[in-house]
Amino acid sequence: MDSESPSRSRVLRMATSLYQGAETVIRFALTFVLLGLLAALALAVWRGRPRVPSGAALVLDIKGDIVEELSARSARDVLRGAGGGTRQETSARDLIDALNAARDDRRIKALLLSLDDMDGAGVARLQDIRTALVNFKKSGKKVVAYADSYTQYPYYLASLADEIHMHPQGIVLIEGLARYRMYYREAIDKLGLEWHVFRVGEYKSAVEPFLLDGMSPEAREADLDWMGDIWRSYLADVAAARKKTPEELTALIENYVGRLEESGGDGGRLALKEKLVDKLSQRDELRKRMIELSGEDKKRKSFNRIGFREYLSALGDDRKKKGKGDAVAVIVAKGEILGGSQPAGTIGGDSTAALIRKARENEDVKAIVLRVDSPGGSAFASEVIRRELELVRNEKKPVVVSMGGVAASGGYWISTSSDEIWANPNTITGSIGIFGMFPNFGKALAKHLGIHVDGVGTTPLAGAFRPDRPLDARVAEGIQATINRGYEEFLERVAAARKMKKEDVDRIARGRVWSGADAHKIGLVDKLGGLEEAIASAARKAKLPGDHRVLYIQKDLSLKEKLLGSFTSRDGFLARLLAEEDGRPDSSVLRVIEQNLEEEAGRLASWNDPRGMYAHCLCEVP
């Protein structure tokens, strides 16, 4: 044994040296990344503002999802994003500001919509951008769209272009709207789990995956209703832009496979024949066309251009100088509603209330517009935000709500304390209902692992909420009573805000989701229109002059968040540095299942309502 001790000692020393060496390499790598971040920031400061070349084409290179407010990014997000784990985002406000500024900017001669990397948005949000595009076209400047292929949402914007170009091997694929979810009832039974669900409202379908193996008739009816409204709006807008009728476009979509077979499987030729695109162009042919419109940049060996992010940077503070004197404050409430303080680009009961309080205490702010883009979440956090808006109104400052793509359940709760509610006809709203869930794993532990739980408590409530113990029937009754009371409170809030009887609200509530157009008909919203109309209405209510300011109130980013944002937002250098060139997301069936379960588990893990009571619709359309 003694003779082996020196060998063990040497192995231990070698292992320690290897560990220390690895630690040094990791520290060096992290230091290199940090120095890169600082160097990029210093270089950006040294270069100053970009210059807008004369006669340039403005390029709207839309990447990822179009959102109301960009999410704060952590270093972990950036690293995950390099491998495809985090979706890219483009700010709707940035796109609209760039279009509005370029419309009257003599240096901008044309517009190119580059749509290959665009993902989702929702028709309601796209319509605000579409309005800005329509206004831009009034300047007489040419609008060109290009993509290798077009999917549904990018094509919605492209349809407005004077010239739609597509690669000859491309395809225009307009599918329609769909909402499919995984249902877990049979799996829950097989695993021996007990999933206690408490809800009010037969249309409150957010919890159905834990109760059923498919949609309820009520959910099917409601979903087809509001999706039908949005789809008809999409068809009408695209058909009008392409000088077709909605019926012609519908016939093409419903018979697409047959039409594609008639074209020999050539999607590009079919799109050209059906006048969905104007020209099939290779990329060099598009460059040649853009050089005709905006001149040649001989240094780049391409057309004279500037990206919209660089264009906004070139505008600098001029972009934010909208009027003078008294202001209308705009606060964005985007994402799920969670308790406490949440990062920028999300809704926190405390952090969003703090933004509202900041606007309320600002003497220059005479009115507030709350831009809501949320499917809801914590009922408690929703009430914290609603109360803060009530304090604003108590000080005689008007509050106007502008609903974006979705403002349902908790998103509607926070909208009730307002002087006026505006919604897009395609907004998803309503879903006035409450639910709570309590899973129990006791039987599953005993069945699969042989683990049993036993003990004593001094009262019936002691240990009653352990997920490894059966839920006492009396406790379940108490939870349902709390849920019922939450629903009654929701009805009371809506009835008071909308000047309706509570029983009349109940008839249109019960968890049912409505389109903005239908919500307007039944009295849940006051006006149909976008953010700009809501801002103008708030200014009128505050009796502000025409040259009033528009002030966006946002959560301040930390230095680390600013560094990460500035380093990753434009060119994604760090993501490209870390990503493998041949990396592709795994689209296998198992990966799809895994992603769905990860999303569901992540959502449940983030919910933090102190009473376990949620006003959430889970009703976004991808």
Residues classed as catalytic: 204, 409
3-state secondary structure (DSSP) of residue 389: helix
Tell me how far CA of residue 593 lies from CA of 216, 292, 394, in angstroms: 22, 49, 49
DSSP 465-493: T-TTSPPPHHHHHHHHHHHHHHHHHHHHH
Phi/psi of residue 164, nearest 5 degrees: -105, 115
Between helices 349-361 and 379-394, what is the axis angle to 10°? 10
Task: Please name the residue that has the structure tokens 């950036």.
Answer: 78
**Residue 283, Cβ density class (10 Å: 0-12 exposed, 13-18 middle, ≥19 buried):** exposed
The token pair at 282 is 């290779």
Tell me how far CA of residue 334 lies from CA of 21, 68, 453, 459, 485, in angstroms: 45, 7, 42, 42, 27
Give residue 611's region: left, alpha or beta (phi > 0; psi -120 to 50).
alpha
- Answer for the pair 109, 294: CB distance below 8 angstroms, yes or no: yes
- Answer for the pair 556, 462: CB distance below 8 angstroms, yes or no: no
Report the alpha-carbon distance of residue 115 to residue 249 in Å, rounded: 21
Query: With b meaning 16 or more CB within 10 Å and e meaning fewer, what string describes 289-309?
Result: bbbebbbeeeeeeebbbbbbb
Phi/psi of residue 285, nearest 5 degrees: -70, -35
- Answer for the pair 433, 615: CB distance below 8 angstroms, yes or no: yes
Name the residue among 77, 80, 83 with its Cα closest to residue 583. 83
3-state secondary structure (DSSP) of residue 422: strand
Name the residue among 462, 486, 512 with its Cα closest to residue 619. 512
Tell me how far CA of residue 190 lies from CA of 18, 186, 207, 438, 584, in angstroms: 47, 6, 19, 18, 34
Report the alpha-carbon distance of residue 123 to residue 115 in Å, rounded: 16
Look up residue 48 and give its DSSP letter. -
Name the residue among 397, 332, 386 with its Cα closest to residue 362. 397
